[in-house]
């Protein structure tokens, strides 16, 4: 596909790594030598991430990855992009390759039953099957499977508490119903199904390869997917056949935006959007505006500007949530004394 020269590879493997630096350093060297961009996470529980580059570059990196003990059969999903969807190459050490925050969950020893994309429609069409979308709320907002339950969780870390609170309502105080779960590429469901099994739920299933594999393999005319699938790179979203979707990205809060939202008065490129405009302080908007200005000047000079980092985004979201909680607390206190 000459109009989409970049290969995008999303990969993960749950396996045991004892010496993390012995995995990280050679992996980073292999990526830099091949010229790929993206982010890979290395933890004691395995490897996860997405990289992009030429077909030859991706092939070289995957050859190295498959030579790592425990990664010979690593799960990889491929897509295409017209432009490089990442700004730099990072290989980072983490406590978890996908953060759930529950101790003792090990997908290598206990996990749900894998369901191939071709068999997924039959499973979720069964009236005895409870279908749960395990992704974050802003991901679910732009697309999900027909009939799926949306937990409305801001992060995957919130999923265990949500399930424990909703368990009686979901299962009817029994472990017998079938529970089918899905996520973008399959990795979150490795943990969510392992978590449900650890909680005593017996019949747990998950979509093998995730939504991306389903959109790649299931013809659109047979699909039960509605909308687009959010992806964590510059493509923002993909549809059937993994074609790039219609959503843009707010550079301030990383929320996917429709074309209508891009035209809203609250939208300012790199500064705010209808989802974050009221949550951001004037100081935050000023910093974002300056960052956007520097990025524009860098482009004019033909240079690359890395923009806002994921660490900054996480810190920003945390600060905004804390500010919102404090405002709610003060409002409740004022009402109590009113």
Quick one: 84 and 122 in the same domain?
no
pLDDT value of position 176 = 67
Quick one: 28 and 133 in the same domain?
no
Quick one: 222 and 136 in the same domain?
yes
pLDDT value of position 24 = 98
Give the C-alpha separation, 82 to 321, whole Å: 35
Is pLDDT above 70 for 338?
no
Is pLDDT above 80 for 335?
no
Decide if 183 is catalytic: yes
Residue 223: Cβ-neighbour burial (10 angstroms; 0-12, 13-18, 19+): middle
- Give domain status of residue 154, yes or no: yes
Catalytic residue among 183, 250, 253, 276: 183
Is pLDDT above 50 for 314?
no
Quick one: 125 and 186 in the same domain?
yes
- Give domain status of residue 242, yes or no: no
Cβ atoms of residues 138 and 256 within 8 Å: yes
pLDDT value of position 312 = 44
- Give domain status of residue 82, yes or no: yes
We report the CATH number of the domain holding residue 209 as 3.40.250.10
- Give domain status of residue 172, yes or no: yes
By 3-state DSSP, what share of the chain in percent is helix, strand and coil, each rounded to 5? 40, 20, 40
Quick one: 117 and 176 in the same domain?
yes
Quick one: 15 and 86 in the same domain?
yes
Is pLDDT above 60 for 316?
no
Q: Where is mean pLDDT largest: 3-17, 24-38, 224-238?
A: 24-38
We report the CATH number of the domain holding residue 30 as 3.30.70.100
Quick one: 76 and 125 in the same domain?
no
pLDDT value of position 311 = 41
**In percent, how much of the chain has pLDDT > 70?**
86
pLDDT value of position 232 = 86
Domain that holds residue 191: 113-227
Quick one: 167 and 82 in the same domain?
no
Going from the C-alpha of 171 to that of each of 124, 175, 176, 202, 284, the distances in angstroms are 16, 6, 8, 11, 44
Supply the pTM of this predicted model. Answer: 0.79
- Residue whose C-alpha is closest to residue 110's, from 194, 195, 202: 194
**In percent, how much of the chain has pLDDT > 90?**
68
- Give domain status of residue 243, yes or no: no
Q: What pLDDT, in 10s, does the model give residues 51-94?
A: 999 999 999 999 999 999 999 999 898 888 888 989 899 999 99
As a whole number, the mean pLDDT across the chain is 87
Is pLDDT above 90 for 320?
no
In the chain, the number of structural domains is 3
Beta bridge partners of 42: 47, 93
Cβ atoms of residues 23 and 68 within 8 Å: yes
- What mean pLDDT is predicted for residues 129-147? 96
Quick one: 88 and 124 in the same domain?
no
Cβ atoms of residues 60 and 24 within 8 Å: no
Compare 124 and 305 and report the one with higher pLDDT: 124
Quick one: 172 and 210 in the same domain?
yes
- Give domain status of residue 236, yes or no: no
What band does 121 get if pLDDT is binned at 50, 70 and 90? very high
Quick one: 87 and 33 in the same domain?
yes
- Give domain status of residue 240, yes or no: no
- Give domain status of residue 282, yes or no: yes
- Residue whose C-alpha is closest to residue 99's, from 153, 145, 151: 153
Quick one: 87 and 143 in the same domain?
no
- Residue whose C-alpha is closest to residue 188's, from 96, 259, 257: 96
Q: What pLDDT, in 10s, does the model give residues 15-44?
A: 999 999 999 999 999 999 999 999 999 999
pLDDT value of position 327 = 55
């Amino acid at each position: 596909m000459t109009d989409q020269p970049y290969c995008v590879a999303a990969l993960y493997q749950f396996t045991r790594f004892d010496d993390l630096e012995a995995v990280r350093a050679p992996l980073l060297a292999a990526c830099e030598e091949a010229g790929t961009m993206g982010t890979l996470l290395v933890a004691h529980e395995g490897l996860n991430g997405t990289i992009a580059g030429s077909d030859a570059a991706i092939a070289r990196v995957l050859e190295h990855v498959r030579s790592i003990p425990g990664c010979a059969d690593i799960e990889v999903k491929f897509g295409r992009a017209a432009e490089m969807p990442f700004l730099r190459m990072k290989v980072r050490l983490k406590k978890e390759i996908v953060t759930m925050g529950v101790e003792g969950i090990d997908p290598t020893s206990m996990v749900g039953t894998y369901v191939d994309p071709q068999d997924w429609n039959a499973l979720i069409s069964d009236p005895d099957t409870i279908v749960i979308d395990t992704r974050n709320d802003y991901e679910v907002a732009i697309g999900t499977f027909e009939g799926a339950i949306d937990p409305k969780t801001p992060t995957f870390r919130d999923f265990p508490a949500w399930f424990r609170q909703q368990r009686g309502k979901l299962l009817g105080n029994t472990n017998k119903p079938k529970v089918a779960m899905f996520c973008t590429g399959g990795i979150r469901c490795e943990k969510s199904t392992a978590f449900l099994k650890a909680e005593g739920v017996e019949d747990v299933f998950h979509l093998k390869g995730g939504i991306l594999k389903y959109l790649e393999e299931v013809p659109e005319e047979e699909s039960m997917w509605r909308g687009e699938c959010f992806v964590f790179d510059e493509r923002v979203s993909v549809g059937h056949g993994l074609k790039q979707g219609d959503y843009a990205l707010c550079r301030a809060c990383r929320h996917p935006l429709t074309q209508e939202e891009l035209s809203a008065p609250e939208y300012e490129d790199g500064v705010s959007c209808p989802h974050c405009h009221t949550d951001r302080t004037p100081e935050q908007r000023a910093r974002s505006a300056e960052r956007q200005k520097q990025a524009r000047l860098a482009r004019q000079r033909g240079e690359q500007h890395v923009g806002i980092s994921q660490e900054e985004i996480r810190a920003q979201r945390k600060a905004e949530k804390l500010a919102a909680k404090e405002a709610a607390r003060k409002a409740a206190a004022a009402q109590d004394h009113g």
